[in-house]
């Protein structure tokens, strides 16, 4: 399983931001095979984790026009800076 | 680079929780070679990301007595549930 780690410092959010974030999450989960999505925001820091079965699923999701538009708005309006890391899960455990 | 993704649902926190969390972060960064540490809490959800050069560094940190004690307290007192995922970063980008 592959995890995409999105980590951002927020510049300013607007009502569109929440709509777009919710829409992208729905798209990922319902149309692009995303297995799970967890986003947490504290102050100006946002971390969003999305879990995927394959690199191809991630590539298809990244290339979607709505996602590309959101990336541009994110860079221009919402985020002061952000990073994306793609990582392959090698070990995991859950409690309880 | 390896990332450890800690994701938890918080049951209840107490003053000791913050002290232990800060102490573990300092230990990881200053004594066990952790490269970066980012923790975000929103409501009852906590995500903490730590970045490491090698699996050996993670193993040494996990085996430290203070960390083991904290794990036990976490399971017993602070967390309703949690998961830990270890993942190898294959690709990353930053903007700007």
- How does pLDDT run across A17-74, given as a tens digit for each residue? 999 999 999 999 999 999 999 999 999 999 999 999 999 999 999 999 999 999 999 9
* Cβ atoms < 10 Å from Cβ of A11: 14
| Cα–Cα distance, B3 to B78 (Å, whole number) | 23
What ipTM describes this predicted complex?
0.93
Residue in B42, B48, B84 to test binding to A, most A beta-carbons within 10 Å: B42
Query: Average of pLDDT values for A81-85?
Result: 96
B44-86 pLDDT, tens digit per residue, is 999 999 999 999 999 999 999 999 999 999 989 999 999 999 9
Q: In the prediction, which pLDDT does A87 show? A: 98
Which residue in chain B has the smallest CA separation from A45? B40
Q: Is the pTM of this model over 0.80?
A: yes
A91 in B contact zone (CB under 8 Å): yes
Please tell me the distance in Å from A78's CA to the nearest CA on chain B. Answer: 12
- Residue B4, judged by CB atoms within 10 A of its CB (0-12, 13-18, 19+), counts as buried
Beta carbons of B45 and B79 less than 8 angstroms apart: no
B5-45 pLDDT, tens digit per residue, is 999 999 998 889 999 999 999 999 999 999 999 999 999 99
Please tell me the distance in Å from B65's CA to the nearest CA on chain A. Answer: 20
Q: With 90 as the cut, is the pLDDT of residue A13 above it?
A: no
Alpha helices in B1-96 (DSSP H): 15-31, 55-63, 65-73
* Cβ atoms < 10 Å from Cβ of A96: 7
Q: How many residues does chain A have?
A: 96
Please tell me the distance in Å from B40's CA to the nearest CA on chain A. Answer: 6
- Tell me how far apart the 2 most distant CA atoms of chain A are, in Å: 42
User: Which contiguous run of DSSP H or E holds residue A23?
Assistant: helix A15-31
Q: In the prediction, which pLDDT does A95 show? A: 83
Q: In the prediction, which pLDDT does B13 show? A: 86
| Cα–Cα distance, B32 to A44 (Å, whole number) | 28
**Beta sheet of B79-95, edge-to-edge order:** A36-42, A45-52, A2-10, A79-95, B79-95, B2-10, B45-52, B36-42
Q: Return the structure tokens found at B94.
A: 């930053």
């Amino acid at each position: 399983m592959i995890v995409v780690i999105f980590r951002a410092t927020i510049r300013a959010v607007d009502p569109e931001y929440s709509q777009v974030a919710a829409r992208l999450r729905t798209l990922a989960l319902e149309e692009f095979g995303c297995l799970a999505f967890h986003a947490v925001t504290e102050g100006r820091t946002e971390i969003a984790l999305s879990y995927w079965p394959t690199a191809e699923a991630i590539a298809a999701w990244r290339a979607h026009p709505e996602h590309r538009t959101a990336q541009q708005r994110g860079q221009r309006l919402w985020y002061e800076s952000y990073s994306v890391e793609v990582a392959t899960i090698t070990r995991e455990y859950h409690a309880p």
